[in-house]
């Protein structure tokens, strides 16, 4: 009988961006149990929302998460509009879609960079983040801020897109196609990336349905769900675009779905910008009150469906505000995807769902299955990068080719 | 200028202490290391351990649970250490001041050398703050 000891990881650990705390119970190198302690990121947003009036609430939900900082506001204003029967001018709908899709591009690029980092390709990380800056420049032009755009408002949007800015924005968005094509080719052609991601972390369509996974995680397994198509909101019912799906449900397909989605986003943005030339008028219906009632707002955030519920009692504050972020549904699928894989693959499988803990304040864990060997986060990333290096040697490749003109 | 300050301000090892943040300041901090800004040119690097830190960047509010840990981490940092509060939340608590889980302004229990407001502050603002801080520590005029 070996001795049981406890290894604490966190709450402030070198490789955690956000504070979480694990307690690993180990017997030798074998992990026999795991305690997860959360609450380091709990800010009481739902309760706080009840003390803010409707205009302030939108700013508050924007700060749930810095990466999906327009998904939560869109869902929130839609819930308010649903509860209070508020009309939204058509022009505002197009602007909402433009901001939403730009955010999808920057979020997917951020994910692509981090996935590259976990696989040991820091070049991909640096290049993805470099081109992400170009998306942030578009944001700065339209909204005045790189992140936290403060564009949404019950009854419309806060700022109009000026007619003289549209050609500049169109050019900046069109310029993104070249780097995106570069990444598409890199992922599709590189033998090492394929060897590391194909057949790894497979999630079947049935498992997606059983676990109610959302967003790119579900679409990579061939489940064609997308709130933008299923419950059209903003301008998604007014423009032409496709829901991207893949069949295999592995990490490779999750990456492919995200990359192809960025091209669809560009398509949506370009159509919306064209429509702005003909659809004129106000961008804000300027509602004066929110009638008593209940409302639900749905939006397809980069990670999946985000859900907001608001109950209004006729005052200027929500009586109840409930938020459900997509990562909450997605992280539990790790349980299925990780079993049977090596520890070196676990890092990228966990990262493949693009978990966001400030949205969910939940933690996914590989370690709960007793008898599985478990490493710390640092060991896992090292392990993953070593595997890539070995594969690279075996295949004679030198990492992803970035054909930079 | 003491030897410690002279050595401290040459190549800053940055430790990022994220409280209950929304991730946005954290991403902008990482952004300063990516090709557009590339702070590593100046010897500024992120380190994983508080015991290697010359500069601590605080981001986000610190709630009732994370506040005591932040205090502990500050005590473990080798002195002298420079502390910068990045973003409105770390400076004042921002819009989370009224929350039931909000502890105290972080300045009440960690001495802060520079406040960098903004939601989030732009990477240029972060770089400018660090430069100003280095000049002040070295006793130079701005």
Measured between alpha carbons, how far is A258 from A306 in angstroms, rounded to an integer?
A: 17
b/e per residue A318-341 (b: at least 16 CB within 10 A): beebebbbbbbbbbebbebbbeeb
Domain B3-137: top CATH class: alpha beta
- Taking CA atoms, what residue in A is nearest to B120? A147
Q: Tally C-beta pairs within 8 A across A and B.
A: 113
Looking at this predicted complex, what is its ipTM? Answer: 0.88
**Omega prior to B120 cis, within 30 of 0:** yes
Residue A37: what pLDDT?
A: 66
Q: Does the distance separating the beta carbons of A148 and B23 come in below 8 Å?
A: no
Measured between alpha carbons, how far is A117 from A119 in angstroms, rounded to an integer?
A: 5
pLDDT digits (tens, 9 = 90+) for A243-297: 999 988 888 999 999 999 999 999 999 999 999 999 988 889 888 888 999 999 9
Residue A10: what pLDDT?
A: 63
Residues in B 123-142 with any Cβ partner in A closer than 8 A: none
The pTM is what?
Answer: 0.86
Q: Does the distance separating the beta carbons of A17 and B65 come in below 8 Å?
A: no
Cα-trace Rg, chain B = 15
Residue B141: what pLDDT?
A: 58
Other beta carbons within 10 angstroms of residue A342's beta carbon come to 12
Say which residue the tokens 């929304």 belong to: B22
Residue A268: what pLDDT?
A: 93
- Binned at pLDDT 50, 70 and 90, residue A327 comes out as confident
- Taking CA atoms, what residue in A is nearest to B65? A40
- A341 within a domain of the structure (yes/no): no
What average pLDDT score do residues A198-221 get? 88
- A9 within a domain of the structure (yes/no): no
- Taking CA atoms, what residue in B is nearest to A21? B66
Q: Does the distance separating the beta carbons of B22 and A69 come in below 8 Å?
A: yes
pLDDT digits (tens, 9 = 90+) for A58-82: 999 998 888 888 999 999 999 999 9
Q: Does the distance separating the beta carbons of B34 and A148 come in below 8 Å?
A: no
pLDDT digits (tens, 9 = 90+) for B83-124: 999 999 899 888 888 888 888 888 888 999 999 998 889 999
pLDDT digits (tens, 9 = 90+) for B4-21: 888 888 888 998 888 888
- Binned at pLDDT 50, 70 and 90, residue A405 comes out as very low
Q: Are A306 and A340 in contact (CB under 8 A)?
A: no
What average pLDDT score do residues A94-100 get? 93
**Omega prior to A199 cis, within 30 of 0:** no
Residue A80: what pLDDT?
A: 93
- Taking CA atoms, what residue in A is nearest to B103? A43
Tell me the CATH number at A271: 1.10.645.10
- A44 within a domain of the structure (yes/no): no
The share of chain A scoring above pLDDT 70, in percent, equals 75
Compute the Cα dihedral for A372, A376, A379, A384 and give only its sign.
positive
Q: Total structural domains in chain A?
A: 1
Q: For residue B131, give Cα distances in angstroms to A129, A273, B7, B128.
A: 24, 41, 15, 5
A78 contact partners, CB below 8 Å, separation of at least 6? A233, A295, A296, A297, A298, A299, A308
Measured between alpha carbons, how far is A4 from A300 in angstroms, rounded to an integer?
A: 45
Q: Does the distance separating the beta carbons of B35 and A129 come in below 8 Å?
A: yes
pLDDT digits (tens, 9 = 90+) for B33-77: 888 888 888 888 888 788 889 999 998 888 888 888 888 889 999
What distance in Å separates residue B135's CA from the closest CA in chain A? 28
What average pLDDT score do residues A128-149 get? 90
Residue A43: what pLDDT?
A: 84
By Cβ distance, the residue of A47, A133, A147 closest to B36 is A133
Q: Does the distance separating the beta carbons of B66 and A40 come in below 8 Å?
A: yes
Q: Does the distance separating the beta carbons of B95 and A48 come in below 8 Å?
A: yes
What average pLDDT score do residues A40-44 get? 81
What average pLDDT score do residues A347-351 get? 68
Measured between alpha carbons, how far is A282 from A293 in angstroms, rounded to an integer?
A: 26
Return the beta strands (E) in B2-76 as ranges.
Answer: 13-18, 45-46, 55-59
By Cβ distance, the residue of B20, B25, B30 closest to A42 is B20
Q: For residue A58, give Cα distances in angstroms to A47, A66, A107, A287.
A: 14, 14, 20, 15
Residue ranges making up the domain that contains A265: 57-328
The chain-wide mean pLDDT, for chain A, equals 81
Residue A32: what pLDDT?
A: 54
């Amino acid at each position: 009988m070996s001795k049981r000891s406890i290894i604490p990881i966190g709450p402030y650990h070198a490789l955690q961006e956000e504070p979480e705390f694990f307690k690993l119970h180990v017997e030798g190198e074998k992990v026999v149990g795991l305690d997860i302690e959360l609450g380091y990121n709990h800010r009481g947003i739902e309760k706080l929302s009840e003390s803010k009036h409707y205009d302030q609430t939108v700013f508050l939900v924007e700060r749930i998460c810095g990466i999906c900082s327009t998904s939560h506001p869109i869902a929130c204003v839609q819930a308010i509009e649903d509860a209070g029967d508020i009309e939204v001018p058509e022009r505002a709908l197009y602007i909402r879609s433009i901001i939403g899709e730009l955010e999808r591009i920057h979020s997917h690029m951020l994910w692509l960079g981090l996935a590259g980092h976990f696989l040991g390709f820091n070049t991909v990380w640096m290049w993805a983040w470099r081109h992400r800056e170009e998306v942030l420049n578009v944001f700065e032009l339209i909204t005045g801020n790189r992140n936290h755009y403060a564009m949404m408002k019950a009854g419309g949007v806060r700022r109009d897109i000026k007619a003289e800015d549209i050609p500049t924005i169109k050019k900046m968005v069109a310029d993104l196609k070249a780097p995106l094509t570069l990444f598409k080719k890199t992922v599709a052609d590189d033998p090492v990336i394929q060897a590391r991601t194909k057949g790894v972390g497979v999630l079947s369509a049935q498992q997606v349905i059983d676990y109610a996974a959302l967003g790119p995680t579900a679409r990579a397994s061939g489940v064609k769900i997308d709130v933008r198509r299923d419950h059209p909101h903003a301008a998604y019912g007014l423009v032409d675009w496709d829901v991207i799906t893949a069949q295999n449900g592995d990490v490779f397909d999750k990456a492919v779905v995200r990359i192809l989605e960025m091209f669809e986003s560009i398509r949506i943005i370009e159509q919306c910008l064209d429509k702005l030339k003909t659809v004129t008028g106000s961008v804000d219906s300027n509602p004066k009150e929110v009638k008593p009632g209940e409302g639900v707002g749905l939006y397809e955030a980069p990670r999946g469906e985000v859900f907001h519920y608001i109950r209004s009692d006729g005052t200027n504050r929500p009586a109840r505000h409930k938020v459900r972020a997509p990562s909450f549904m997605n992280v539990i699928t790790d349980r299925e995807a990780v079993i049977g894989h090596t520890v070196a693959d676990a890092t990228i499988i966990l990262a493949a769902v693009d978990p966001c803990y400030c949205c969910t304040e939940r933690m996914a864990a590989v370690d709960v299955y007793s008898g599985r060997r478990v490493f710390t986060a640092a060991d896992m990333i090292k392990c993953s990068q070593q595997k890539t290096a070995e594969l690279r040697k075996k295949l004679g490749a030198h990492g992803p080719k970035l054909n930079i003109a | 200028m003491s030897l410690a300050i002279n050595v401290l301000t040459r190549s800053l090892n940055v430790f990022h202490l994220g409280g209950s943040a929304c991730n946005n300041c954290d991403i902008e901090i990482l952004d300063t290391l990516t090709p557009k800004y590339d702070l590593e040119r100046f010897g500024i690097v992120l380190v994983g351990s508080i015991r290697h830190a010359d500069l601590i960047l605080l981001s986000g509010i610190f709630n009732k649970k994370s506040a005591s840990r932040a205090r502990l981490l500050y005590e473990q940092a080798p002195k002298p250490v420079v502390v910068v509060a990045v973003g409105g939340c770390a400076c004042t608590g921002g819009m989370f001041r009224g929350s039931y889980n909000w502890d105290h302004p972080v300045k009440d229990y960690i001495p802060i050398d520079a406040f960098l407001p903004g939601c989030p502050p732009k990477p240029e603002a972060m770089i400018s703050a660090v430069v100003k801080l280095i000049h002040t520590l070295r006793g130079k005029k701005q």
